[in-house]
């Protein structure tokens, strides 16, 4: 059994749990600190984004990026320690986990970098399809796929290689 893979998996699990707790706390803080925003127009969103505290929003997005990377490391560790009979399921889980990280990460990375800078400069050209508060953004479906399909499915797959693993080693 590869001890380095176990160590990486252990610390990735601890970090992922901490990131998910931070994510949950940040979204709770957003509800408490900021007033409820109802979409009316793009200009109203720009004003609301500049008038309210966006720190918790960006912390939550960053923590989801950290969670996604740690999730992939965990799945890679499971693949590394899996018995040959369970390697297929572990590899499949890792590939779906990577899909979750890519699809969710691209939206959050764009939100943290380009969209945040353009909101600060009150520019609305070229990013309105990338902004999550808009009811029909272009990048929202990949985020939904990442969170719903690509996170749930690989989270259930490691059961098979771990069930086949002889835990007495």
In a domain, 118, yes or no: yes
Q: What is the pTM of this model?
A: 0.73
Question: Whole domain around residue 11: which residue ranges?
Answer: 3-164
More confident residue, 109 or 145: 109
Do the domain assignments include residue 7? yes
Domain assignment present for 88? yes
Mean pLDDT of the chain: 77
Read off the pLDDT of each residue in 147-157 and give the average, rounded to a whole number.
59
99 belongs to a structural domain:
yes
DSSP 111: I
User: Bigger pLDDT: 30 or 122?
Assistant: 30
Q: Does residue 9 surpass a pLDDT of 70?
A: yes
Which candidate, 101, 103, 108, 114, places its Cα nearest to that of 132?
108
Structural contact between residues 129 and 138, judged by C-beta atoms closer than 8 angstroms: yes
pLDDT tens digits along 19-59: 999 999 998 998 898 888 776 777 787 788 788 888 898 89
Domain annotation covers residue 50: yes
169 is a domain residue: no
Number of domains the chain is built from? 1
In a domain, 83, yes or no: yes
CA 64, distance to chain mean position in Å, is 4
């Amino acid at each position: 059994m590869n001890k380095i893979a176990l160590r990486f998996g252990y610390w990735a699990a601890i970090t992922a749990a901490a990131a998910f707790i931070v994510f949950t706390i940040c979204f709770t803080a957003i509800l408490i600190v900021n007033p409820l925003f109802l979409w009316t127009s793009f200009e109203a969103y720009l004003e609301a984004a500049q008038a309210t505290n966006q720190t918790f929003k960006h912390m939550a997005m960053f923590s989801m990026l950290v969670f996604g990377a740690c999730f992939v490391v965990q799945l890679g560790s499971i693949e590394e320690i899996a018995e040959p009979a369970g390697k297929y399921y572990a590899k499949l889980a890792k590939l779906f986990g990577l899909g979750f990280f890519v699809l969710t990460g691209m939206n959050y990375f764009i939100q943290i970098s380009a969209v945040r800078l353009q909101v600060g400069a009150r520019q609305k050209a070229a990013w309105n399809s990338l902004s999550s508060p808009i009811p029909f953004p272009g990048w929202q479906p990949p985020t939904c796929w990442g969170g719903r399909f690509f996170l749930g499915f690989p989270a259930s797959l490691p059961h098979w290689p771990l069930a086949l693993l002889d835990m007495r080693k």
